[in-house]
Structure 1
Amino acid sequence: MGGTQNSSIRTRTRRSERPDRHGYHAPWLRGIREAAEGLDLTGLWLLMPRRGHSPDWLSPPPAGPTATFEEEIAQVRAADPGAAREDSARSLADTPGALEHPLAHAWLADPERMIRDLADLLEQVWHTLLAPDWPRLRALLEADVTFHSRRLAEVGLGGLLPEIHRRCGWRSGTLTVASDGEYERHLGGRGLVLMPSVFVWPDVVSSFDPPWQPTLVYPARGIAGLWADPAGRSPDALVRLLGRGRAAVLAALDDPATTTALAHRLGLAPSSVSAQLTVLRDAGLLVARRYGHQVLYERTPLGMALASGGA
């Protein structure tokens, strides 16, 4: 399982153009409206058909769950020009009028320029619209990976896929995704990447075209509380829901902290705090990250929503 930042960029820009998909993300859209108006996203709109193919070379599957944006954008810049041209032409054909656009003509004539232009645009979008929110988004995605990894061990792939999305199924070694078209590919031992996305909701997106790693992108858990604004705390409600000890630990994590720091902050024994952190992490309210010899705990978006009274 893994997450990717490039696919988040492309899904985010698509989200802003589809009012019917605003849903949980309306607060974010209001917040980035002015910044987005300063970007010329024409090139991305041309390659984002409402129905049809989106270029895989623009959002290749991640090398791993810890891949950085710099590593991912380098992968985009290293795309094969011939393959990128073919991939993009297929997408342009699915967007009415796109093939007649001057930019499309220029790109198909010079795919190396297309790769440079779109990689530069993705970098602009990342720094302007995505990077400020990435710690929050990363926490949500990492919590989802942790939860579904545990579920995979508990119920197997056949039990997990329908939980990930109602359109997914697994039977006799065959993955099925209910969709309008038909496509079949034998994985041949290459495996399948399960990738949570904050912005793909309510859809599930599959990518199986060679040479890309077969990937299934699904809506991450907890997006309902993702953009909850901090509000006045409701410690009594948290105590009733979680118990006094766990509520105190969750409320104290305004900033990432170690077990020792939290114990000092709360005046509790480290062993007691460690036990509460484990329960909160297993419930998807916290994630833990190692920095050198330290392990820092921070809230997931679901944990933020509970702590702020937004749940």
Structure 2
Amino acid sequence: MPFRLYFGEDDLLRCRFAVSALWETQEAVRTLHRPERHGYHVPWLRRIHAAAAGLDLAPLRLLMPRRGHNPDWLGPPPIGPAATFEEEIAAVRAADPQAALDDTARALADTPGALDSPRGRALLADPVRMIEELADLLEAAWRALVEPDWPRLRALLEADVAFHSRRLAEVGLGGLLPELDRRFAWSAGTLTVDARSSHERELRGQGLVLMPSVFSWPDVVSGFDPPWQPTLVYPARGIGGLWAEPGGHAPDALVRLLGRGRAAVLGALDEPAGTSALAHRLGLAPSSVSGHLSALRGAGLLTSRRYGHQVLYERTPLGMALASGGI
């Protein structure tokens, strides 16, 4: 069934990318209980099993119907390109109680039996307390499930944004959107999403937030209802290697040319990445990786750009050729 968004001229000027720690926390909770999402995340699931068992996530899961409405107040669109979890959860805690009550009742109605369940009735009985309790539970889920791996997750998400920002400059919005996911189609100012529900919306100058996600895979998510800014969530590039441990050895010829450490760093940059992510991936000290990155960039093998909290590095054409053995 199609989901259609209609763009005007002003909307084309108000499209932006974002990364959200709050969103990844909610999707991590969903992923725990959806086997179809486990494929790439088995190492993570094994590692956080004990921590997840110590959380009572039932109130959150009650508001996460497989089909239907999810409460927008509990996970509003990102407030900026590099907002912290603390900034995002503060916005959740500041939700208007009446609006949150109506939003929550709508979500409970889409979960069979939830509206009349004891937990459902308890949530609706006191919206101020509901906001506090669910925000506390989201924060506990963040601390236990996502925060320990956030540098790695953020590096992947920001690398996706860096890559697709460059593609946007090269092919424009109409060319980029179908590249983000095979379920997106663009024609004459209309974005059509092959989704589970049918919905149409004119953006009316609000533009669109494009947000890569790790834990949403393999789904694409279209939201939010007015007055929230429309947001399109798609699986981030490179998820297949997200939980990979330090890889094999660099080719001997590259080691002889650059040294083992620099060869390993150059070989690991299949996707743009920052210092901390590379250090974790390679099992090296961040200070050592930083030195190798500076040397490789000075030799013309890497370029760098700042995005959000960190500097992302990627290979130049010469660096690609060396890493692949083409020279």
Q: How does the TM-score come out when normalised to structure 1?
A: 0.83
Q: Hey, what does 2:251 align to over in structure 1?
A: 236
Partners of 1:47 and 1:92 within 8 A in 2: yes
Partners of 1:257 and 1:296 within 8 A in 2: no
Q: Using the alignment, how far apart are the partners of 1:237 and 1:53 within structure 2?
A: 55
Gap runs ≥5 in structure 2: 1-16, 269-277, 315-322
Q: 2:228 aligns with which of 212, 219, 225?
A: 212
Q: CA deviation at 1:217?
A: 0.5
Verify: 1:261 aligned to 2:286, yes or no: no
Q: Using the alignment, how far apart are the partners of 1:48 and 1:137 within structure 2?
A: 22
Q: CA deviation at 1:11?
A: 0.5
Verify: 1:104 aligned to 2:131, yes or no: no
Report 1:191-210 matches (<5 A). Answer: 191-210=207-226
Q: CA deviation at 1:30?
A: 0.8
Secondary structure class of the residue paired with 1:98: coil
Q: Using the alignment, how far apart are the partners of 1:290 and 1:93 within structure 2?
A: 38
CA pair 228-209 structure 1, distance change in 2 beyond 3 A: same
Q: Using the alignment, how far apart are the partners of 1:110 and 1:128 within structure 2?
A: 27
Partners of 2:222 and 2:231 within 8 A in 1: yes
Q: CA deviation at 1:119?
A: 0.2
Fraction of identical pairs, as percent: 61
CA deviation vs aligned residue, 1:117-176 (integer Å, no higher than 9, x gap): 100001101111111000000000100000000111111111111111111122111111
CA deviation vs aligned residue, 1:31-82 (integer Å, no higher than 9, x gap): 1001100000011110011111111111111111210111000000011111
Q: Using the alignment, how far apart are the partners of 1:61 and 1:237 within structure 2?
A: 48
Q: Using the alignment, how far apart are the partners of 1:40 and 1:135 within structure 2?
A: 25
Secondary structure class of the residue paired with 2:41: helix
Secondary structure class of the residue paired with 2:206: coil
Q: Hey, what does 1:271 align to over in structure 2?
A: 298
Q: 2:149 aligns with which of 133, 158, 161?
A: 133
Q: Using the alignment, how far apart are the partners of 1:42 and 1:289 within structure 2?
A: 36
Report 1:82-161 matches (<5 A). Answer: 82-161=98-177
Q: 1:18 aligns with which of 22, 28, 34?
A: 34
Partners of 2:177 and 2:185 within 8 A in 1: yes
Count of aligned pairs between the two proteins: 282
Q: Using the alignment, how far apart are the partners of 1:2 and 1:247 within structure 2?
A: 32
CA pair 161-125 structure 1, distance change in 2 beyond 3 A: same
Report 1:261-300 matches (<5 A). Answer: 261-262=291-292, 271-272=298-299, 275-278=300-303, 288=306
Partners of 2:249 and 2:264 within 8 A in 1: no
| 249-258 or 218-227: bigger deviation | 249-258
Q: CA deviation at 1:100?
A: 2.0
Secondary structure class of the residue paired with 2:174: helix
CA pair 145-237 structure 1, distance change in 2 beyond 3 A: farther
Partners of 1:81 and 1:111 within 8 A in 2: yes
Partners of 2:159 and 2:312 within 8 A in 1: no
Partners of 1:28 and 1:227 within 8 A in 2: yes
**RMSD (Å), alpha carbons:** 2.8
Specify which structure has the bigger relative contact order, considering alpha-carbon pairs within 8 angstroms and separated by 6 or more residues: 2
Letter of the 1:42 partner, please give it: A
Q: CA deviation at 1:239?
A: 4.1
Gap runs ≥5 in structure 1: 282-286, 300-306
